[in-house]
Homo-oligomer: A and B are copies of this chain.
Amino acid sequence: MSIDRRKLLGISAAGLAGVALTDALARAAEAIGKNKPSLEDAQRQGTQAHEALMAVPGMHMHGSEQVALLLYPGFTALDLIGPHFFLASMMGATVHLVAAQREPVLSDVGVAMLPTARFDEVPEKLDVLLVPGGAEGTVAAARDAATLAFVKSRGANARYVASVCTGAVILGAAGLLAGRRATSHWGVREALADFGAKPVDQRVVLDGKLVTGAGVSAGLDLGLALIGLLRGKPFAEAVQLMAEYAPAPAYHAGTPGSAPRAIEQSVRGMFAPLLVETRALAAGT
């Protein structure tokens, strides 16, 4: 879904006024009921359906948010692309993938993505600044002066500052967690206290303008929550339906409490070096 996601969601605000919800829905339903509609019929249905969606009470279909997602070497691609799906569904919003340079940025497992903007090319005033996590690369980014300066300055001015997974560590290094409730990947969550935060074991934590997500896959929940904050519940529900976001994992080991103990103990131990590096960062050493 999505050049169309945008095109369909955006089909033009013209013609909105005067379209009765029930009327448009009835037409769309009737058209869908047809067995072999022509493409022209279908496009008319699509336009009517779009207008019907815009007429749903409380629907905020259009906006002009400025959103920036940080790319840095070693980021985890799913931490970024999970929330990106939801944020990029906001018709009228501008979503930047921002990095120090315009060159491709390699993720932790070698997925190369191209930034759309350099640090100095995104607006001073952002609606959302979002920082994905990673492992060694995240600690390195949190120690990088240019990255930290960008996160500090845009974070101070942003309407919402968000992180997924260990991205919270970068926010912590930028001083954006002090005194706030926050979460991160379970393997390093306790270290958020070293940055002055109150660690919370929750999927998505909202405290003032700070929105933090748990590990990796929590980026989808964070993205959905963010568009709910920015555009309201009906819009978030529409995008959730487009994403068919009704998760059903085949296994049930997604949290330390639910995973088999031998697996949990081992994976926890594997996080020990990252935890130590995070604490050293917080301690300024």
Contact = CB atoms under 8 A, between A and B. Distances in A.
Interface of A: 1-6, 8-9, 21, 24-25, 28-29, 31-32, 36-39, 41-43, 45-46, 48-50, 52-53, 56, 74, 76-78, 81-82, 84-85, 88-89, 95, 97, 104, 107-114, 116, 133-137, 165-166, 185-186, 203-204, 214-218, 220-221, 224-225, 228, 233-234, 236-238, 240-251, 253-256, 258-260, 262-277, 279-280
Contact of A240 (B5, B249, B270): B249
9 contacts: A4-B136, A37-B276, A46-B272, A46-B273, A48-B269, A104-B114, A204-B248, A216-B242, A240-B253
Contacts of A41: 272, 276
Nearest to A253: B237
Given A245-B216, A266-B52, A273 B43 contact: yes
Nearest to A267: B241
Contacts of A56: 260, 262-263, 266
Given A78-B85, A215-B244, A216-B245, 19 more contacts: A1-B76, A3-B74, A3-B108, A3-B136, A28-B265, A28-B272, A32-B272, A52-B262, A85-B216, A85-B217, A104-B114, A113-B114, A186-B244, A216-B243, A233-B251, A238-B267, A240-B251, A241-B255, A241-B256
